[in-house]
Amino acid sequence: MRLPLLKKDQLNDSQKALYDDMKSGIETSFKGFTAIDSDGELVGPWNPWIRYPQFGGPVWNLVKALASNPKLPKPVREIAILATGARFHSAYEIYAHVLVGEARGLSDDKIATIVAGQRPFDLTREEGVAYDMASAVVAGTVPAITYKRGVDTFGDQATAELIYLVGLYCMVSTTLNGFNVPLPEGEDF
């Protein structure tokens, strides 16, 4: 870990405001994996974002915007997030979203194949489109036919949501990898 874990009593006013907002949101919406340690401190990408609130605050706002009234089905979102995390080899992201993917009904075989960087053979049409879109976005170019499949399958709004979701998890992955954020104590992926 390149950034020591900040304790709540070490935070300045802008960090504390962001910490409080994040902790409230995490306690409400982020279930199934460790994001708050046994001492009540935020772990994962949250610590770097709190340390630098001028960057972390806007990222947190994007997290909240994408979590508010999503158009994409939850398993489809997890396919895209896992494909993104796998591309970046982001340990904490993979750890967290394997657990969330399982909770949202994805089979262990699908998850394991995606985490290995491959496209599962048994994806539903929607899951396949999400996987292909996410893979194209992280590769740097989304062919017109891939984008059209997204719009035909999900509509304009949900296709935009998918693209922004992948962009967010590219940011999450680079934050985790850049600051060498470890898995929670005793966890593996």
Q: Do the domain assignments include residue 184? A: no
Same structural domain, 103 and 86: yes
Residues 81 and 62 in one domain: no
Q: Which residues of the chain have pLDDT under 70?
A: none
Residue 1 within a domain: no
For 159, list phi and psi in degrees, rounded to 5: -65, -40
User: Tokens 């075989």 — which residue?
Assistant: 109
Q: Are residues 60 and 80 in the same domain?
A: no
Q: Assess whether 95 and 171 both reside in one domain.
A: yes
Please provide the distance, in angstroms rounded to a whole number, between the alpha carbons at the two ends of the chain. 17
Q: Residues 73, 129: contact at Cβ < 8 Å?
A: no
Q: Tell me, yes or no, whether 54 and 12 share the same domain.
A: yes
Question: Which of 18, 35, 68 corresponds to the end of one domain?
Answer: 68
Do residues 63 and 150 both lie within one domain?
Answer: no
Residue 25 in any domain: the answer is yes
* CATH code of residue 96: 1.20.1290.10
Range of the domain at 43: 8-68
Report if residue 52 sits inside a domain: yes
Residue 3: inside a domain: no
Question: What domain count does the chain have?
Answer: 2
| 126/162 same-domain check | yes
